[in-house]
A = this chain, B = another copy of it.
Amino acid sequence: MYTLLKKEKRARRGRFETPHGTIETPVFMNVGTLGVIKGAVSSMDLKEIGCQVELSNTYHLHLRPGDKLVNKMGGLHRFMNWDGPILTDSGGFQVFSLAKIRKIKEEGVYFSSHIDGSRIFMGPEESMRIQSHLGSTIAMAFDECIELPAEREYVERSVERTTRWLVRSKNEIDRLNAQENTINKKQMLFGINQGGTYEDIRIRHAKEIAKMDLDGYAIGGLAVGETHEEMYRTLDAVVPHLPEDKPIYLMGVGTPENILESVERGVDFFDCVLPARNGRHGHVFTARGKINLNNKRFEMDEKPIDEGCQCPACRHYTRGYIRHLFKAKEMLALRLCVLHNLYFYNKLMEDIRRAIDEDRFHEFKAQKLADWSRGQEPHIEK
């Protein structure tokens, strides 16, 4: 259940109660595709870096190790040893971005596995069954994620089908939650708003799904190639038409700047592979913008990645040491940078929440954007 604690213009400070604990919003979900965060980060580490919600991928876990195996092992929480909230996506996005040779029909999608090419069918019922097997806290409805740019006519037909799939998703999850051997009988369902960058289609769809009294509402199909301005314009248009008493989740977004802009537009939930992926390449976030630790200027830098940061990497190691680890192709380099970047995101959300609590989110946002664009102080050689 979502409680709106405070609003500052459209920015929302809320609290979302789930069967696996309370989520303070706005929140950034830490992405662990296969039930693990890439970069040798464990569920124990997630607790240390301030993660509130872990996100795993239905499509990936269905293929490997298989949702039935995870189910037999007691569900995803027990499998990965994480007792906090887990959100699973529906597989919709992955089917459209990863799978080969796909065919979309009214019943669902026929496609080939990106691992071994084997033929698979997934529709709303299949997606819900997999997510129920995994026992995640929040399941996502099965939708079609439309590639942009897209013809208006195609988008209209697709969005209508996504609405029909949402009804089927809801019916199936209700049925599964009522079954005896379901791991999480209180599994929640978020619907997904689609419509590309056509504001009128987005709004019509938002109004339609808002009637369904779901546990939350996601905005999907953004951050897939459109400009940031189109994304913000779409948020401006659609967010006011989603229920105010439910959390709003912007899927797959984004940079720290994107997050500030989207919180300002009323978004509560975020997820993105960006901090972990950046970290694995030595690109790390600091109070003064992103830096690339592979750069020679950090060779003898005795400062932590980000001065004042309390993450495990910054408390114990210097930029010079971590740069050495990258050059030597040592895995610890990746681990430290992923831990740092996820901590940076989780801490950013905490700071955002406090700023809204204290009615100073807009100043906070302006200050952060200015700080991040300042860049690093010049490095003084000893």
Residues of A within 8 A of B (CB): 34-44, 64-65, 69, 72-74, 79-81, 299-300, 302, 312, 316-318, 320-321, 324-325, 327-328, 330-332, 334-336, 382
Contact B38 A69 (CB under 8 A): no
Q: Say whether, besides A327-B65, A330-B36, A331-B40, A316 and B73 are in contact (CB < 8 Å).
A: no
Chain B residues positioned under 8 Å from A36 (CB to CB): 325, 328, 330, 332
Contact A335 B331 (CB under 8 A): yes
Contact A334 B332 (CB under 8 A): no
CA distance A147 to B120 in the complex (A): 56
Contact B321 A73 (CB under 8 A): yes
Chain B residues positioned under 8 Å from A43 (CB to CB): 316
Contact B81 A317 (CB under 8 A): yes
Contact B64 A324 (CB under 8 A): yes
Tell me the minimal C-beta distance from A281 to chain B in angstroms.
Answer: 14
Chain B residues positioned under 8 Å from A335 (CB to CB): 40, 42, 331, 335
Q: Say whether, besides A81-B321, A324-B34, A325-B36, A299 and B69 are in contact (CB < 8 Å).
A: yes
Closest B residue, CB atoms, query A72: B300
Chain B residues positioned under 8 Å from A73 (CB to CB): 300, 302, 318, 320-321
Chain B residues positioned under 8 Å from A72 (CB to CB): 300, 382
Chain B residues positioned under 8 Å from A320 (CB to CB): 69, 73, 79
CA distance A332 to B32 in the complex (A): 11
CA distance A286 to B214 in the complex (A): 49
CA distance A321 to B56 in the complex (A): 15
